[in-house]
Amino acid sequence: MTQTSITRSWVASANGHADFPLQNLPLGVFSVKGSAPRSGVAIGDHIFDLEAALEAGLFEGAARAAVEATRGGQLNAFFEQGREARVALRERLIELFKEGSTLHGKIEAQGAKLLPLAANCEMHLPAKINDYTDFYVGIEHAQNVGKLFRPDNPLLPNYKYVPIGYHGRASTIRPSGTDVRRPKGQTLPAGQTEPTFGPCARLDYELELGIWIGPGNEMGDPIAIGDAADHIAGFCLLNDWSARDIQAWEYQPLGPFLSKSFITSISPWVVTAEALEPFRRAQPARPEGDPQPLPYLFDKRDQAAGAFDIELEVLLLTESMREQNIPAQRLTLSNTQHMYWTVAQLVAHHSVNGCQLQAGDLFGSGTLSGPENGQFGSLLEITEGGKKPIELASGEVRKFLEDGDEIILRARCRREGFASIGFGECRGKVLPAR
C-alpha cells in the first residue's frame, strides 16, 4: 500500500498530527497507571493497545501472528519476524483506522480500553537491548571535532574506508523522559599532569539516529550488503550523552568508556522502514577524490535509495527558561543526509567478520551535524570546546550543559504530496551529581 493511497483516519487527532498521522504507525511499549508494559501503536494523540485489540479479535492470519510476537512488553520477537510481519500488521492497522473503516464503531465503543490517550501512558524501552554499538558516520561532526584536535588533519586516514564504531553499553539505555544524573569521574585539568576526581564539568549531548536491528544472523555468517536493509526493524532518535572532560582523559588508546556509559536516551517509538519509504534518498555522492566503498560495502540499490531525508532538531530548555515561561530554544537543525555511510553499510560492516547481530540490538549513527553554524549536533562543536559560549534567549550563557538543563531531540520527514511524519521526542533533564 503506497503512502499516497492512504488519506485520512477516523481518529481525528491523527489527521495533520505533527508526529503520528495514519501514515506513520510506529510501535512501542507502554503502560497505563502501573499496568504491566504492553505493545502499542501511536496514532494521533492516542496509543492503540495491540494486546487488548488481539483479545478483542481484531487481528487474523499474518497480522495476528505479528501482534502475538509483540506480547510480553518487548518487541524482540516481532523484530525477528522481519519485513513481512511488519507489512501485514501495517496493512491491517490502516484498514482499521482509515476513514470509513467498518470497524470504526467497534473500536471506538471500547474507548480508552483500546485507545488510551498517550498523555495518560508511560513509555518504556521497546525491546530488550542485548548489544548497543555507536558509529561515527556523521562526516561533518567527525571533521568539526577532528579540527579541534588536529587542525591540519581533521579526518584520520581510515574514515573513508571503515564505518568507524565502538561497542557501547546496553544496560544504561533509557527511554525519553529519564533524568540524566551528572556523572563523576577522572579528568585532567588544563596544564596539570595528574588527574582529579569529581563531577563532570563538560557535559554534552550528541544528536544521533538510532537503528533497531530486526532479523539477526548466525555467528560466522556475515550479512551481505544487498540483504542488509532487511535486517533493520526501524529507527528512533538517540542522545549519546557525553562527558567531554572524562572522555578527553580516558579515550586513548581504546576509545570512549565511562564518558558515555552513564546513560544513553532514546525516543520510545520505533518508526518502521515502511513509514519512511517516501523519505528515502540516494546516498549523496562522495566528494571528488574520495575512495569508493570496498565491494562488501557497495550495492547499487543501496546507493540509489539507502539514505534518508529526516530533519533532526535539538532544543534546550533551562531551569530559568522554564521559570520564565520561555519556550525551549533550538540549538541544532540537521539532517540524516549528512551520513557518510548508509544504515545498510553499517549492518554489512558490523557482521562482515562473523559477529552475530540479534533482534533488538541497537546502533547509534554517530553525531549528525551539518557543515554550517546552527547545524552542529553537539555543544563541543557549537562552542568549539567551550571557547565560544552561546547566549540564550533567557540571557544565560552556556559552554556545556548545567544542572536543570533539558535537551529535547525531535525529527520530522516532509515531502511534497506526502503526509509529514515525526519520531516523537527524546528528552532528558540534567540532575546534579550525587
**Positions marked active-site:** 141
First to last CA, the chain: 52
Element of type H or E holding 146: helix 139-149
The residue whose grid cell reads 508511560 is 122
Q: Which of these ranges, 30-38, 62-70, 180-188, 240-248, lies near Mn ion under the rule CB under 5 A?
A: 240-248
Q: Which of these ranges, 13-21, 33-41, 53-61, 234-242, lies near Mn ion under the rule CB under 5 A?
A: 234-242
> Residue type at 310?
I
Smaller CB separation from Mn ion, 131 or 240: 240
- Min separation Cβ 366 and Mn ion, Å: 5
- Min separation Cβ 365 and Mn ion, Å: 8
Element of type H or E holding 321: helix 319-323
| Residue of this chain nearest to Mn ion (CB atom) | 240
d(CA 330, CA 408) in angstroms, rounded, equals: 9
- Among the listed residues 19, 140, 206, 302, the single contact to Mn ion using CB under 5 A: 206
d(CA 424, CA 18) in angstroms, rounded, equals: 9
- Min separation Cβ 132 and Mn ion, Å: 11
- Among the listed residues 131, 134, 302, 425, the single contact to Mn ion using CB under 5 A: 134
- Min separation Cβ 240 and Mn ion, Å: 3
- Among the listed residues 49, 240, 299, 405, the single contact to Mn ion using CB under 5 A: 240
Q: Which of these ranges, 20-28, 32-40, 70-78, 238-246, lies near Mn ion under the rule CB under 5 A?
A: 238-246
Smaller CB separation from Mn ion, 19 or 208: 208
Smaller CB separation from Mn ion, 195 or 255: 255
- Min separation Cβ 242 and Mn ion, Å: 7
Strand partners, 280: 308
CB burial class (10 A; 0-12, 13-18, 19+) of residue 295? exposed
Cβ within 8 Å of residue 147, ≥6 positions away? 154
CA quadruple 169, 172, 178, 184: dihedral positive or negative? negative
Smaller CB separation from Mn ion, 136 or 249: 136
Q: With CB under 5 A, what is the number of residues at the site for Mn ion?
A: 3
Binding string to Mn ion for residues 75 to 114, with x set by CB under 5 A, is what?
Answer: ----------------------------------------
CA 49, 54, 59: angle at the middle one, nearest 5? 115
What is the per-residue DSSP string for 32-64?
A: ETTPPPEEEEEETTEEEEHHHHHHTT---HHHH
In 56-112, which residue ranges form alpha helices assigned H by DSSP?
61-68, 76-81, 83-97, 104-109
The three cell numbers locating residue 318:
533551562
- Min separation Cβ 174 and Mn ion, Å: 16
Smaller CB separation from Mn ion, 44 or 210: 210
CA quadruple 194, 195, 196, 202: dihedral positive or negative? positive
Smaller CB separation from Mn ion, 268 or 377: 377
Q: Which of these ranges, 22-30, 204-212, 247-255, 418-426, lies near Mn ion under the rule CB under 5 A?
A: 204-212
**347 to 376, contacts with Mn ion by CB under 5 A?**
none
What is the per-residue DSSP string for 189-209?
A: -TT-SS-EEEE-SSEE--EEE
Helix (H, G, I), strand (E, B) or coil at 340: coil
Smaller CB separation from Mn ion, 240 or 425: 240
- Min separation Cβ 429 and Mn ion, Å: 20
Q: Which of these ranges, 98-106, 199-207, 282-290, 390-398, lies near Mn ion under the rule CB under 5 A?
A: 199-207
Binding site for Mn ion (CB under 5 A): 134, 206, 240
